Amino acid sequence: MNKRLNDVLNFFENQLPAHYGCLQPRYTHVQTAVSIAGILSSYSSTNTFIVHAPVGTGKTFAQKELNRLF
């Protein structure tokens, strides 16, 4: 795995749940962030990603954390 993906996984699987006192990560957060990170990576030829998801799936967290990493 590359460093950025490790950073994304660490944030959404460890840091974010710990900050909110959760026992386990929300896997929708992890899935959304990993999908967006894949689009943003230099290996992707796609430059557009539309996220349509219900409240609480991690859209805002994914966007903010990935802006920080990329």
- The tens digit of pLDDT for each residue in 18-49 reads 998 988 888 888 888 888 787 777 776 776 77
Element (H, E) at 63: helix 59-69
Of 66 and 1, the one with more pLDDT: 66
DSSP strand E in the chain: where? none
Element (H, E) at 45: none
Of 47 and 62, the one with more pLDDT: 62
Give the other-Cβ count within 10 Å of 59's Cβ: 18
Q: Give pLDDT, residue 21.
A: 92
Let me know if 5 is exposed, middle or buried by CB neighbors in 10 A (0-12, 13-18, 19+).
middle
In one-letter notation, the amino acid at residue 43 is: Y
Does the pLDDT value for residue 62 go beyond 80? no
User: Which range of residues forms the domain containing residue 40?
Assistant: 3-69
Give residue for tokens 């030829």.
45
Q: Read off the pLDDT of each residue in 51-68 and give the average, rounded to a whole number.
A: 77
Q: Give pLDDT, residue 1.
A: 56
Structurally, the chain folds into a number of domains equal to: 1
